[in-house]
């Protein structure tokens, strides 16, 4: 099965065909998260609190799985583009092997460490009991998560975005259907409470992985999992982890930022903390399409980079950047046209809505320009350059954002935190653009097909 369409198809239709399935998948996944929380909240406030306490560790497992998966994605696309079939098979085989190892380690560490982790946040015996009930079951599926995400990124690396989309949707829909049945019981299915929510999530993950395996064994794919390729290879593993580790850290940084900003805003009022939480729920939807575009271009850039197609790599990057800017402009328009309605989706407090509208107006000033750093990060990961991508994320979430929020809040009050968002986006965009131009000129100089 040839992948030449990645270097032959017109750029705009190619980018759209790779990105749209990812946008749809992410939209369904966001819907699942909301529905899942809705059913658990029906049990009790303590059940919702328990779920919230477990969430950071679940997010850590997913971050590690996705980060390593991005490394596999970049490596497989590059090797296929360079015509190195055995290297591509090694990347797939060793990627799956180490994903299993990651899953097993995470299962043991997370289950054993959960009581200590929960004790850092609450002494409520009921909340701790429910959190342990949920986590001890949910973490048993960690291998399914890590291997499932690995297959997701592998299929994306060969341009099979529809397979990835179908698998993710089936897993999410399965979870949504099973949630009320297993939580509250129905017919022969006993009511399992919060444990049922964990089982529903795990079964959804099994369904997703099953679809990937079914597709792999019954359809022609340009890669093979081979026993002869399982022996660890330093060059292959270096390429996997050099992108995978920074990508994992990139996903973890927003959580650290939110905690830091909560600390600043709590000094003014708990209402500002609530507004920040509401904003990040909205941000998921506002940035959803841009994130889908970035997922779509990673394998395209990796494949064409491996094939030495300098002009196509540049055109893919610029096309994705223009699309991302357009999407973020639409997000800005919505933030100014219907801000009350957007904030009102998550709160009925008039004061919180008022504060939220002000926040959304200020933060949205940086939406369009943020497309630069988001797109550049994805392009660098596609080139197999995880460290420079991490530099951008560190600048965006830690180095600039937190000190700026502290400084601005001293002069502008809580609104200073909102102003720190757009200021950070402008500075980070300039840094990202300069970094990309410098690196791209080095790894793909004009007139040459040089590779790293």
Q: What is the mean pLDDT of the chain?
A: 86
- What pLDDT is recorded for position 365? 94
Q: Are residues 188 and 291 in the same domain?
A: no
Domain end call among 232, 256, 279:
232
Query: How far is the C-alpha of 137 from the C-alpha of 134, rounded, in Å?
Result: 6
Q: Are residues 275 and 394 in the same domain?
A: yes
Q: Which domain holds residue 109?
A: 8-232
347-398 residue pLDDT tens: 777 888 899 999 999 999 999 999 999 999 989 988 888 889 889 989 888 8
Q: What's the structural domain count of the chain? A: 2
- What pLDDT is recorded for position 224? 84
- What pLDDT is recorded for position 213? 92
Domain end call among 232, 250, 284:
232
For the cut 50, the answer to whether the pLDDT of residue 451 exceeds it is no
Q: Are residues 187 and 56 in the same domain?
A: yes
- What pLDDT is recorded for position 33? 65
Q: Are residues 203 and 352 in the same domain?
A: no
Q: Are residues 315 and 203 in the same domain?
A: no
Q: Are residues 398 and 347 in the same domain?
A: yes
160-199 residue pLDDT tens: 888 888 998 898 889 889 989 998 988 888 888 889 989 9
- What pLDDT is recorded for position 452? 38
- What pLDDT is recorded for position 3? 60
In a domain, 16, yes or no: yes
For the cut 90, the answer to whether the pLDDT of residue 106 exceeds it is yes
- What pLDDT is recorded for position 447? 58
Q: Are residues 318 and 204 in the same domain?
A: no
- What pLDDT is recorded for position 86? 87
In a domain, 450, yes or no: no
Question: When comparing pLDDT for 422 and 67, which is higher?
Answer: 422
SS3 sequence of the chain: CCCCHHHHCCHHHHHHHHHHHHHHHHHHHHHHHHHHHHHHHCCCHHHHHHHHHHHHHHHHHHHHHHHHHHHHHHHHHHHHHCCCHHHHHHHHHHHHHHHHHHHHHHHHHHHHHHHHHHHCCCCCHHHHHHHHHHHHHHHHHHHHHHHHHHHHHHHHHCCCHHHHHHHHHHHHHHHHHHHHHHHHCECCECCCCHHHHHHHHHHHHHHHHHHHHHHHHHCCCCCCCCHHHCCCCHHHHHHHHHHHHHHHHHHHHHHHHHHHHHHHHCCCCHHHHHHHHHHHHHHHHHCHHHHHHHHHHHHHHHHHHHCCCHHHHHHHHHHHHHHHHHHHHHHHHHHHHCHHHHHHCCCCCHHHHHHHHHHHHHHHHHHHHHHHHHHHHHHHHHCCCHHHHHHHHHHHHHHCHHHHHHHHHHHHCCHHHHHHHHHHHHHHHHHHHHHHHHHHHHHCCCCCCCCC
For the cut 70, the answer to whether the pLDDT of residue 252 exceeds it is yes
For the cut 60, the answer to whether the pLDDT of residue 245 exceeds it is yes
Q: Region 50-64: what's the mean pLDDT?
A: 80
- What pLDDT is recorded for position 449? 45
Q: Are residues 331 and 223 in the same domain?
A: no
In a domain, 57, yes or no: yes
φ, ψ of residue 10 to 5 degrees: the values are -60, 145
Query: How far is the C-alpha of 207 from the C-alpha of 170, rounded, in Å?
Result: 7
In a domain, 205, yes or no: yes
Q: Are residues 228 and 274 in the same domain?
A: no
Q: Region 245-265: what's the mean pLDDT?
A: 81
In a domain, 379, yes or no: yes
Q: Are residues 46 and 133 in the same domain?
A: yes
Q: Region 434-445: what's the mean pLDDT?
A: 85
In a domain, 181, yes or no: yes
Q: How far is CA 170 from the centre of its chain?
A: 19
Best CA proximity match to 190, nearest among 181, 199, 177: 181
263-296 residue pLDDT tens: 888 888 878 887 887 787 788 778 888 888 888 8
């Amino acid at each position: 099965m040839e992948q030449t369409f990645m270097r032959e198809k017109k750029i705009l239709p190619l980018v759209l065909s790779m990105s749209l399935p990812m946008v749809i998948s992410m939209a369904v996944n966001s819907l699942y998260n909301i529905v899942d929380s809705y059913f658990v909240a029906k049990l009790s406030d303590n059940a919702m609190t328990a779920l919230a306490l477990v969430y950071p560790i679940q997010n850590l497992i997913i971050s590690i799985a996705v980060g390593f998966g991005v490394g596999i994605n970049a490596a497989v696309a590059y090797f296929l583009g360079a015509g190195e079939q055995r290297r591509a098979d090694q990347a797939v085989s060793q990627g799956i092997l180490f994903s299993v190892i990651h899953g097993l380690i995470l299962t043991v560490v997370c289950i054993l460490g959960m009581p200590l982790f929960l004790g850092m946040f609450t002494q409520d015996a009921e909340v701790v009991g429910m959190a342990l009930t949920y986590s001890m079951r949910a973490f048993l599926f960690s291998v399914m998560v890590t291997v499932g995400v690995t297959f997701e990124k592998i299929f994306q690396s060969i341009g099979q975005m529809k397979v990835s989309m179908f698998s993710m949707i089936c897993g999410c829909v399965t979870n949504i259907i099973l949630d009320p049945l297993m939580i509250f019981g129905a017919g022969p299915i006993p009511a399992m409470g919060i444990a049922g929510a964990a089982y529903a999530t795990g079964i959804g993950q099994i369904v997703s992985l099953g679809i990937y395996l079914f597709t792999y064994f019954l359809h022609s794919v340009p890669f093979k999992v081979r026993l002869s390729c399982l022996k660890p290879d330093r060059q292959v593993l270096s390429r996997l982890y050099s992108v995978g580790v920074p990508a994992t850290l990139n996903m973890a940084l927003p959580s650290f930022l939110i905690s830091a900003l909560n600390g600043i805003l709590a000094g003014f009022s708990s209402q500002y903390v609530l507004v920040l939480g509401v904003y990040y729920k909205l941000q998921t939807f506002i940035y959803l399409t841009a994130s889908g575009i970035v997922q779509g271009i990673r394998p395209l850039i990796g494949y064409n980079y491996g094939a030495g197609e300098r002009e196509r790599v540049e055109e893919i990057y610029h096309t994705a950047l223009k699309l991302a800017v357009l999407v973020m402009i639409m997000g800005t328009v919505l933030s100014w046209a219907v801000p009350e309605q957007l904030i009102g989706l998550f709160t009925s407090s008039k004061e919180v809505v008022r504060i939220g509208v002000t926040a959304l107006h200020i933060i949205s000033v940086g939406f369009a320009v943020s497309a630069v750093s988001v797109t550049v990060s994805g392009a660098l990961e596609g080139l197999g350059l995880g460290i420079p991508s991490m530099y951008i994320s560190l600048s965006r979430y830690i180095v600039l954002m937190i000190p700026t929020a502290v400084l601005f809040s001293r002069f502008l009050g809580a609104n200073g935190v909102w102003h720190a968002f757009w200021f950070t986006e402008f500075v980070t965009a300039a840094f990202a653009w300069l970094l990309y131009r410098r690196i791209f000129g080095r790894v793909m100089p004009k007139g040459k097909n040089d590779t790293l």
